[in-house]
Amino acid sequence: MSQDLQLSLIDKVLIYLRNIIALFLLIIFAIFAIIPILIVYITRWQPLLSNYVRFAIKTLMFVLGLKLELKNFDKKLFKDRQWIVIGNHTSFLDPVILFSVVPGTLRFFYKSGVDKVPIISWAFKVSKYISVDRDNPRKAEESVRRAINIIKEEKSDSIGIFPEGTRSRDGKIKRFKRGAFVLAKEHNLPILPVYFRGFYYAMPKGRKLIYPSKLQIEFLPPISEEVVKNKSDKELRDLAYNLYKKIEEESL
């Protein structure tokens, strides 16, 4: 990548060291996670595990040199309220870091291929993310039903979906799919768009290492229940897509 060519040898060595230390810490966190997992299994107090995962993520961010800025973030948005949270998707880091920020439990859909990656798949499952097999319509439908059950049973949980369906290879927003907006309409849930900046440089699709970066998550104006109710899922998709394209153009 072009960024790699601009780095000095010392910078590259430091990046490797940061990633090696982070990997070591991640393994330690994974081992010690057995304790909060057992406590949650016995007591059913889910916040303990969520807080442990948040602590692990923020520690790893510090080691990796990831500095995060939140724009227009208000914790009150998540108090006793469920959302369909959507965002542009440029990196593996997007859902992980967003999970560490928002209160409550935010469950993202992710492609089932990640289940083959040992440590990352463990982190996703502990975070209660929902695996989707996009090559198997029946299994994909089961994943959606699981999300619907979560919405019905866990009144404080929100669902996170990347409407592009996969990470962008060039960092630019691709056409949105309808799934997130169909789910929002079926349950009349408001939609909270978030915009990720700097994540593509930190770890774009295809790169194994995480680079020190300045990251920003911007919380955009919500799409209310009333708008969700009065528009079709296609209209909601186009509304959200145009919003993201506009912000992308302004950012460039």
Parse the chain into domains and list their residue ranges.
66-251
State the residue for tokens 């949270």: 85
What local confidence, expressed as pLDDT, does residue 128 receive? 66
User: What distance lies between CA 30 and its chain's CA centroid?
Assistant: 19
Domain 66-251 has CATH 3.10.20.600: no
Give the pair of three-digit tokens for residue 152: 């019905």
| pLDDT tens for the 252 residues of the chain, in order | 555 657 788 889 999 999 999 999 998 998 888 888 788 778 877 778 888 989 999 999 999 999 999 999 998 888 878 899 999 999 989 989 998 999 877 887 777 777 776 656 766 666 667 777 767 767 767 777 777 777 677 666 788 889 998 899 998 999 999 888 988 998 889 999 999 999 999 999 888 899 999 999 999 999 999 999 999 999 999 999 999 999 999 876
What local confidence, expressed as pLDDT, does residue 93 receive? 93
What local confidence, expressed as pLDDT, does residue 213 receive? 95
Name the nearest CA neighbour of 49 among 109, 122, 116, 108.
122
Other Cβ atoms closer than 10 A to 151: 19
State the residue for tokens 């630019």: 172
**Residue type for position 73:** F
What local confidence, expressed as pLDDT, does residue 4 receive? 60
Angstrom distance (rounded) from CA 30 to CA 170: 32
Task: Please classify residue 208 by burial: count the beta carbons closer than 10 Å to its beta carbon, then call 0-12 exposed, 13-18 middle and 19+ buried.
Answer: exposed
Name the nearest CA neighbour of 106 among 70, 154, 72, 41.
154
What DSSP assignment string belongs to the chain? -HHHHTS-HHHHHHHHHHHHHHHHHHHHHHHHTHHHHHHHHHH--HHHHHHHHHHHHHHHHHHHTEEEEEES--GGGGTT---EEEE----THHHHHHHHHSSS-EEEEEEGGGGGSHHHHHHHHHTT-EEE-TT-HHHHHHHHHHHHHHHHH-TT-EEEE-TTSS--SSSSPPPPPSHHHHHHHHHT--EEEEEEESHHHHS-TT--S---EEEEEEEPPPB-HHHHHHS-HHHHHHHHHHHHHHHHHHH-
Question: Is 0.75 topped by the overall pTM?
Answer: yes
**Residue type for position 200:** Y
